[in-house]
């Protein structure tokens, strides 16, 4: 299991403009020369020659020789590892064993079709190939591409559109925050989770969309990106930017700070966001047919609006999760997510919502459930 701190160690290498593109077949020294320049390379070679048992603890750069001799990892990953070692060297960090270094590094980063993907040392070349296959399949089957640079444009675009609502000073504050945000590397698990989430929506994606009831409308979501943090409130899992056809995954990935979300939590997050992106034109239908929300509407005429709609005094079927309580569109996204996660359970616990979601999906997808 990959923990945040390990991941961080490598992902910090993306800060600044030292980033490089590396091809798998180049010899190590050439790769490093290109990535780091001649001077740095010479010093690494000189220092790594001196390595040996008697020199323990090892400096960060002395470990380089050990790593390449004792462990096999792809050439294309070597410069990303080296950048971390260079940072550690500047901090005068020392290590007593290769295991300790590996534990601290966690893994390495490889550029796969323009996006950085992070692998653990235990994952081999076949896993890199798998990441490549998934990214290709997402594009061919579902018309979805990966572009974390697009995330910055989507956020900027959304801030501009909402400038009046959030006010000039908040707008400037958020733009400034965006400048400090960085592209994050994907984990193989993220890619697998996205593949699984997209399967649920497959009748209205990519090549299958042209024979669906949605054929006359452009596919609403066409790309995904991953950056470290949102610019609004922090602790956001993911965000959908419909006007840009783009969904951003945030590094946080969960509301429990510092904890890596599980695979199924990631699938849930993707399904939730895809519902915002692909099905929200059916929100009025959902709202009109869920008694809780028509009841809330009537209440609001008399009472001050409860920002969380947490209403224990309501007798009927309540919003199914803490997120669903926030607003009707969140209730809709959570309901679709729970419906796909476990249809039988959802039907039993939330029969009203289950019936509406089921009908909407049948109509949108042109399928019988």
List, in order, residues 6 or more apart from 33 with CB less than 8 Å away. Answer: 41
Strands 115-120, 145-146: pairing kind: unpaired
Q: Binders of Zn ion among 139-178, rule CB under 5 A?
A: none
Q: Which is nearer to Zn ion, 108 or 200 (CB)?
A: 200
Q: Least Å distance between CB 185 and Zn ion?
A: 24
Q: Least Å distance between CB 343 and Zn ion?
A: 21
Total binding residues toward Zn ion, as defined by CB under 5 A: 2
Q: Which is nearer to Zn ion, 36 or 198 (CB)?
A: 198
Q: Least Å distance between CB 283 and Zn ion?
A: 12
Q: Which is nearer to Zn ion, 227 or 333 (CB)?
A: 333
Q: Least Å distance between CB 199 and Zn ion?
A: 20
End-to-end CA gap in the chain:
36
Q: Least Å distance between CB 147 and Zn ion?
A: 21
d(CA 109, CA 199): 27
Q: Which is nearer to Zn ion, 82 or 197 (CB)?
A: 197
Q: Which is nearer to Zn ion, 73 or 270 (CB)?
A: 270
d(CA 272, CA 239): 10
Report the alpha-carbon angle 2-266-367, nearest 5.
150
> For the window 309-348, what string marks contact with Zn ion as x by the rule CB under 5 A?
---------------------x--x---------------
Contact assessment for residue 178 and residue 155, using Cβ atoms and an 8 Å cutoff = yes
Task: Calculate the alpha carbon distances from 252 to 88, 184, 234, 248, 303 in Å.
Answer: 24, 11, 8, 12, 36
For residue 58, give the 3-state DSSP assignment.
strand
Q: Binders of Zn ion among 257-276, rule CB under 5 A?
A: none
Q: Which residues bind Zn ion (CB under 5 A)?
A: 330, 333
């Amino acid at each position: 299991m990959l923990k945040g701190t390990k991941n961080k160690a490598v992902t910090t290498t993306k800060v600044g403009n030292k980033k490089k593109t590396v091809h798998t077949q180049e010899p190590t020294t050439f790769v490093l020369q290109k990535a780091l320049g001649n001077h740095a390379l010479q010093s690494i070679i000189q220092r790594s020659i001196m390595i040996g048992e008697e020199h323990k603890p090892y400096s960060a750069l002395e470990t380089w020789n050990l790593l390449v001799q004792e462990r096999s990892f792809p050439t294309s990953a070597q410069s990303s590892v080296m950048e971390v070692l260079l940072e550690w060297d500047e901090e005068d960090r020392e290590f007593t064993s290769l295991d300790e270094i590996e534990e601290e590094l966690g893994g390495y980063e490889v550029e796969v079709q323009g996006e950085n993907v992070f692998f653990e040392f235990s994952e081999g070349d076949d896993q890199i190939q798998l990441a490549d296959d998934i990214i290709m399949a997402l594009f061919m089957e579902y018309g979805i591409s990966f572009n974390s640079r697009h995330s910055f444009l989507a956020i900027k675009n959304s801030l501009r559109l909402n400038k009046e609502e959030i006010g000039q000073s908040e707008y400037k504050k958020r733009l400034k925050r965006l400048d400090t945000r960085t592209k994050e590397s994907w984990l193989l698990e993220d890619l697998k989770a996205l593949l699984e989430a997209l399967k649920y929506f497959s009748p209205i994606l990519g090549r299958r969309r042209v024979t669906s009831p949605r054929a006359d409308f452009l596919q609403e979501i066409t790309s995904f990106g991953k950056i470290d943090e949102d610019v609004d409130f922090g602790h956001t899992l993911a965000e959908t930017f419909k006007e840009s056809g783009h969904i951003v995954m945030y590094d946080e990935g969960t509301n429990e700070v510092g904890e890596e979300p599980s695979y199924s939590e990631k699938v849930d997050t993707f399904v939730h966001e895809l519902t915002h992106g692909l099905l929200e034109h059916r929100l009025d239908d959902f709202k009109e047919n869920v008694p809780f929300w028509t009841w809330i509407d009537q209440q609001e005429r008399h009472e001050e609006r409860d920002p969380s709609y947490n209403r224990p005094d309501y007798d009927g079927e309540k919003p199914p999760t803490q997120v669903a309580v926030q607003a009707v569109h969140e209730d809709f996204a959570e309901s679709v997510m729970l419906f796909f996660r476990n249809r039988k359970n959802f039907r039993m616990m939330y029969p009203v919502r289950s019936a509406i979601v089921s009908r909407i999906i049948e109509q949108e997808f042109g399928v019988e459930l």
